[in-house]
Amino acid sequence: MTYQISSLEDYKQTYQRSIDDPEGFWADQAETFTWRKKWDSVLEWDFREPNIKWFSGAKLNITENCLDRHIATRGDQVAILWEPNNPADEVQKFTYRELLAAVCKCANALKALGIEKGDRVVFYMPMVPELAIAVLACARIGAVHSVVFAGFSAQALADRVNDASAKMIICSDFNNRGSKHIPVKKVVDEAMAKGCPSIENILVHKNSNEDIEWSDKDVWWHDQVAGQSEECPAEIMDAEDLLFILYTSGSTGKPKGVVHTCGGYMVYTCFTFKNAFQYKDGDIYWCTADIGWITGHSYIVYGPLLAGATSVMFEGVPTYPDAGRFWEICEKHQVNQFYTAPTAIRALMARGDEWPNKYDLSPLKLLGSVGEPINEEAWNWYNKTIGKEKSPIIDTWWQTETGGIMITPLPGITDAKPTYASYPMPGVQPVLLDADGNLVEGNNVEGLLCIKFPWPAMLRTTYGDHERCRQTYFSVFKDMYFTGDGARRDEEGRIRVIGRVDDVMNVSGHRMGTAEVENAINEHENVIESAVVGYPHEIKGQGIYAYVITDGSKGGEDLINEIRAVVTREIGPIAKPDKIQVVSGLPKTRSGKIMRRILRKIAAKDTSNLGDVSTLLNPEIVEEIIKGSL
Ligand code: PRX
């Protein structure tokens, strides 16, 4: 059994051991899993390359650990409890035994379609059980899954398919989200029309009675999977073989494929799940994330299943059919641990207390938050109105690249202070640096958040571009993993993550590169140049503010709407700018670099202290932009 910390003293001792003897510590954790062959060495690492190997030489299959090893002890326990978009529709429950059978059938179907170990399979699916099943089916046969959030555009999907040279896309025909019925397969068809030469088949799960366009590469899930055997031997994987690629935004235009591998990711996600959520046998755990993001990978699918938990998966949205939906589900399934994003908390807080107050939330033992800083007001509401001041809140800080939770309070064990992610998980060694790379020591200080020692679930590379991985994360500061976040350490050593220090925005908990959005805006035929920044937004955390220079041939609402439509086409609706200001120029340094610092301040309506603008190439533009700001 994975070790579960039970007291503050235990945390302190466990943490100390994990720092004094990381290899011994993680080897002990790894011993609790099923390995086909044990490791030759626990850790080999060199951050300069970077070259990171955990459990080198070990052989395993993560699905044997998620599924097969639980059959003897909890075969009839519900593994995945699926709640449909429409509350009147039927809940689906998969016991561990049923889930294993479903995964094996799907795995056999994939094999029959020629998918082999190492092949990349891209997903573009709503939150239906088949998404989790097919992700695990890939892992079963050693195929590398890459789930693309089903809100991205056809262009974004095609870019990811091509970057991964994927052999197959798995999608649904339609996506039911709230009152919307979104034609998912149509987006896949559009992506294919843009050119995805590596795709051999599209496996389509039926989620609607409507007809869809069909091509000779398309295969129905129900035709392909139904007749397959419920047994499928697990492919034996090396600990460092690829498990998945997940694309995420960086400060340059192109999303990068963050690569996670089998062994270390398994050990770390299970350990962090058991400890951060203090999951106990019989608990019902619900993470509201989408499997299109890392939170869904690590804490809907892998972490909970590795730990033998019952994990709720929800197809819908928090406000459909009404703003009580989350709380209704909590009551209906007697949810004990609830994990969501600050943006959802703020949106529901704005709807008033009458919604949560309609439901019995007494089974809740823990509330979690992830994805962005949680402001004090939202934290307090979550604590009082949802947790009734008896459910500890864990504000979990981590990233797509870290694979699992890095800094978090442990519920009932370490105290929680609003807006603080608090203390590191065992094995995690965070440090703060100044801009020159010097350690910022002591408490009550701020700095750039780095991690100075490897942990098992860290990214290994960015797919197809190892140099980009090196440059982005490992070369900014010597011998450090650089997170891209700024943080503060309080008088008692707790860490509060303030936000990104690079050109990455966090919109409703979704990571978005400013360059990515600018590239999309610049596709509009009348746009000459643009600059995008994030600004404080009451519900979304950050909103997107775009400054655009046009050729002057078009203006007004039409132009604004067209620009928004172009961004939706290029990336997806999540990247649509909230505010678009047409400007005649952008503040630039003499070397031609846009001074985003100034634009950020203007967008935040904080123009009292813009600093010295006289060194700009065009200082007069600043006043003009302030006058026209939205
Ligand atoms: O800026 C931090 C913010 O989200 C970024 C990571 O985004 P992503 O890779 O999409 O993963 C989100 C889910 C793990 C971080 O660099 N972030 C995440 N959690 C927190 C946070 N900021 C403050 N507090 C958090 N708890």
pLDDT digits (tens, 9 = 90+) for 131-146: 999 999 999 999 999 9
For the stretch 406-415, pLDDT in tens is: 999 999 999 8
Q: 514 with 503: CB under 8 angstroms?
A: yes
Q: Which residues belong to CATH 3.40.50.12780 in the chain?
A: 1-20+35-76+255-430+467-479
pLDDT of 530 higher than 80: yes
Q: Which atom of ligand 1 approaches the CA of 395 most closely?
A: 26
Look over the chain and give the mean of its residue pLDDT values, rounded to a whole number. 97
Instruction: State the pLDDT at residue 592.
Output: 87
Q: And the tokens for 93?
A: 């429950």
Instruction: State the pLDDT at residue 1.
Output: 84
- Name the residue with tokens 């379609």: 113
Q: If you average pLDDT over residues 216-228, what whole number do you get?
A: 97
Instruction: State the pLDDT at residue 39.
Output: 98
Instruction: Categorize the per-residue pLDDT at 251 as very low, low, confident or very high, splitting at 50, 70 and 90.
Output: confident
Q: If you average pLDDT over residues 164-181, what whole number do you get?
A: 97
Strand residues in 288-396 grouped as ranges (E) = 310-314, 337-340, 366-370, 393-396
pLDDT of 253 higher than 80: no
Q: If you average pLDDT over residues 523-546, what whole number do you get?
A: 96
pLDDT of 525 higher than 90: yes
Distance of CA 140 to the CA centre of its chain: 22
List, in order, residues 6 or more apart from 239 with CB less than 8 Å away: 39, 53, 54, 55, 56, 57, 58, 59, 60, 261, 262, 263, 264
Instruction: State the pLDDT at residue 101.
Output: 98
User: Within 10 Å of residue 111's Cβ, how many Cβ atoms?
Assistant: 17
Instruction: Categorize the per-residue pLDDT at 381 as very low, low, confident or very high, splitting at 50, 70 and 90.
Output: very high
pLDDT of 222 higher than 80: yes
pLDDT of 612 higher than 90: no
Q: Output the residue whose Cα is nearest ligand 1's atom 15.
A: 399
H runs (alpha helix) in 403-553: 466-469, 514-521
In terms of Cα–Cα distance, which of 614, 519, 513 is closest to 249? 513
In terms of Cα–Cα distance, which of 160, 366, 134 is closest to 245? 160
DSSP labels, 198-254: T--EEEEE--SSS-----TTEEEHHHHHHTS-S--PPPPEETTSEEEEEEE--SSSS
Does residue 436 sit in helix, strand or coil? Answer: coil
The reply to whether omega before 50 is within 30° of 0 (cis) is yes
Q: If you average pLDDT over residues 480-488, what whole number do you get?
A: 97
Question: What is the total residue count of the chain?
Answer: 630
Q: If you average pLDDT over residues 143-161, what whole number do you get?
A: 97
**Pocket of ligand 1 contains residue 269 by CB under 6 Å:** no
Instruction: Categorize the per-residue pLDDT at 310 as very low, low, confident or very high, splitting at 50, 70 and 90.
Output: very high
Share of residues in the chain with pLDDT > 90 (%):
95
Look up the pTM and report it.
0.96
* 246, 367, 497: residue to mutate for ligand 1 pocket, most atoms within 8 A of CB: 497
pLDDT of 367 higher than 80: yes
Q: Which residues belong to CATH 3.30.300.30 in the chain?
A: 505-628
Torsion of CA 160, 161, 166, 167, to 10 degrees: 160
For the stretch 270-282, pLDDT in tens is: 999 999 999 999 9
CATH placement of domain 1-20+35-76+255-430+467-479: 3.40.50.12780
Instruction: Categorize the per-residue pLDDT at 254 as very low, low, confident or very high, splitting at 50, 70 and 90.
Output: confident
**Pocket of ligand 1 contains residue 292 by CB under 6 Å:** no
Q: If you average pLDDT over residues 197-209, what whole number do you get?
A: 97
Q: 527 with 549: CB under 8 angstroms?
A: yes
For the stretch 91-150, pLDDT in tens is: 999 999 999 999 999 999 999 999 999 999 999 999 999 999 999 999 999 999 999 999
DSSP state letter for 86: S
- Rounded to an integer, what distance in angstroms lies between the CA atom of residue 356 and that of residue 293? 26
CATH architecture of the domain with range 505-628: 2-Layer Sandwich (3.30)
User: What distance in angstroms lies between residue 555's CA and the mean position of ligand 1's atoms?
Assistant: 37
Instruction: State the pLDDT at residue 109.
Output: 98
**Pocket of ligand 1 contains residue 370 by CB under 6 Å:** yes
For the stretch 13-22, pLDDT in tens is: 999 999 999 9
